[in-house]
């Protein structure tokens, strides 16, 4: 343990974002989709018709969560698929 050196440094927000994008791009895509759904919902709030505010916000929340969970699920499936291919031994 004494031979190992651990470098500790502070990451800037940009460095952390770029590292997260490399490690798990589907999570970042999910967060971007979540923010897009919230932005779209805020824009369309005035044109909701006779729908009550609470029902509109619940539907918006379900849509935003669905986008995020969908991206995370696709990312997990992609990761599992890549791990399966990496551990597969070539036939002789």
Q: Per the confidence metrics, is the pTM higher than 0.95?
A: no
Domain membership of residue 2 (yes or no) is no
Range(s) of the domain holding residue 30: 24-86
Q: Please tell me the distance from the alpha carbon of residue 37 to that of residue 59, in angstroms, as a whole number.
A: 11
Listed residue (45, 88, 83, 39) closest to 64, CA to CA: 39
Distance of alpha carbon 33 from the chain centroid:
8
Domain membership of residue 45 (yes or no) is yes
58 is written with which tokens?
């619940």
3-state helix, strand, coil in the chain (%, to 5): 75, 0, 25
Across the chain, which has 92 residues, the per-10-residue mean pLDDT values are 66 83 79 85 86 90 88 86 77 59
Domain membership of residue 77 (yes or no) is yes
Whole-number pLDDT of residue 16? 83
Q: How many domains does the chain have?
A: 1
75 is written with which tokens?
């990312």
């Amino acid at each position: 343990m004494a031979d190992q050196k651990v470098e500790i440094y502070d990451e800037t927000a940009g460095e952390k974002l770029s590292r997260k994008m490399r490690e798990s791009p589907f999570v970042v895509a999910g967060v971007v989709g979540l923010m897009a759904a919230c932005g779209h919902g805020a824009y369309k709030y005035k044109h909701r018709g006779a729908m009550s505010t609470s029902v509109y916000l619940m539907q918006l929340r379900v849509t935003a969560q669905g986008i995020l969970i969908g991206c995370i699920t696709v990312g997990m499936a992609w990761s599992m698929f890549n791990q399966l291919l990496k551990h597969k031994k070539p036939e002789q």
